[in-house]
Amino acid sequence: MYGIPFRYLTDDLPGIGGRIKADIEDFRVEEVPLYPACGEGEHVYFEIEKRDLSTPEVLRRLARELSRSISGFGWAGMKDRKAIARQTLSVSGVDPERILAVDLPGLRILWVRRHTNKLRLGHLKGNRFEVWVRDLDAPDPARVEAILDRLRDRGAPNYFGPQRFGARGDAQWVGRAFLVHDDRAAIHRILGHPAPSEHNPDVVRARYLFMQYRWADAARAFPPYYRVEHRLLRYLRRCGENYAGARKQVPAADLKLYFTAYQSHLFNACLHARMEACGGDLERFTAGDIAFLHRGGALFRVEDPAALAERARALEISPSGPMFGKQMLVPAPGLQADIESRRLEIDGLRLADFHQLEPHHHLGGGRRPLRVPVEDLEWRIENGHLWLRFFLPRGSFATSLLRELTKNELPLPGLLEQGLEQATSPRLPSAACGSSPSEEGTAGPAHPGAAGDGPPAPGGPPGREPAG
């Protein structure tokens, strides 16, 4: 199982091994809405149940079925493909009966109800998970109880899960390259750099062909549902190494996901550094911290850490980490400020480098709690398998809890790299093409290749689902 290379909260407790998502039926997630649909208004809310489909692919299919644009739909969050997932969507200008009549493979419409506003990203309380961990190496109830008791008492580290970084684990490096306007490095990451976590031999071959500058052969090797890869190759074959122009061929939604992956990577690195500095204690505040109030999400500066100890023990508040951006509140001088500035220094960046993300991509940044409460936790062991049910707040990943139990993950290859492109391949002369407008082509999902019509694109940006 691929995962992330960061410290566990339960480092001192042995894991139980096992396999996650061995079957679609083993991973179920249900969105818990922030508010119910009121029954009147121009927007239509409807709950779906999807199987082996990503949220972007569902939106693409519904848009085609209902003759609407994807931008006309609303959703509160993305959900994992390899799961049975229930979530609410919204759309305007469509008769509710027409939505109820939708009949698509892998998709069920559960209910339809009108509401006054479009459903927006983040409009949910959280997600309820039901998970089987199969074939435990150590089906020991005492181990499970010790780990889950600590997570229940102290909260789970709020890492972004591996799916945020794509199947190769390198979507964050694409985001970094685009952020510093190293468009060549970003495009080469999208089209090249095969990884052991890729299992489609055609895709692996296509990536090697691209890195050998055999672009026509690479275009023939990529499966047709790798829409962005084909668009980029068409442009490069026509215009040569005009990477600034090639950047404009990447859909805005994909760019946003690449940038988000890089923000998420930096958060994970800062969370890991905080755990290392504090011996794994995410409850303790230090001078200069910015506290996160779990009920409501308010932030406030910490002036007297000792005065907050009781509220922290009750999981009412937690220290926060960075989602770098123009709107992010910066800690006062102290441990957390040092961790965040050191992280930027390692990556050769300044906070001001992230300001460009706010107006164009609506990524103003902010603060994210370093831990989250685990609620409504139930579990049992049956015939060497572990069943769990639990609730996590919005934006949190089930893998943050599950990895503490299994402790058998292999880091995705891209997560172990520095992410700096090595310009070792020969350059081709740029054609007199300029930065032409984007080719229209066939509209694809926001998450390229993440669909039921083929495997997810290992080079594409990651999904943003909290489904772990």
Q: Identify the residue whose tokens are 């997630």.
A: 29
Q: Identify the residue whose tokens are 């997560």.
A: 415
Report CA Rg, the chain.
22
Cα(431)–Cα(452) distance, integer angstroms: 37
Cβ atoms of residues 325 and 260 within 8 Å: no
- What are the Cα distances from residue 63, in Å, to 37, 66, 75, 118, 251? 21, 5, 13, 16, 17
Q: CA triplet 374, 275, 137: central angle to 5 degrees?
A: 60
Neighbouring CB atoms inside 10 A of 196's CB total: 11
Residue 139 tokens, joined: 């089906």
What are the start-end ranges of the E strands in 153-279?
156-157
Sheet (strand 290-293) strand order: 299-301, 290-293, 317-323, 366-369
Neighbouring CB atoms inside 10 A of 310's CB total: 9
Please tell me which residue in 80, 183, 289, 347 is annotated as part of the active site.
80
Q: How many residues does the chain have?
A: 468
Helix axes 335-346, 252-277, angle to 10 degrees: 130
Cα(60)–Cα(46) distance, integer angstroms: 16
Residue 274 half-sphere exposure toward CB, CA atoms < 13 A: 31
What are the start-end ranges of the E strands in 155-250?
156-157
Cβ atoms of residues 40 and 114 within 8 Å: yes
What phi and psi, each to the nearest 5 degrees, are found at residue 291?
A: -85, 145
**What's the one-letter identity of residue 393?**
P
Active-site residue flag, 453: no
Cβ atoms of residues 285 and 291 within 8 Å: yes
End-to-end alpha carbon distance in the chain = 13
- Which residues are known to be catalytic? 80
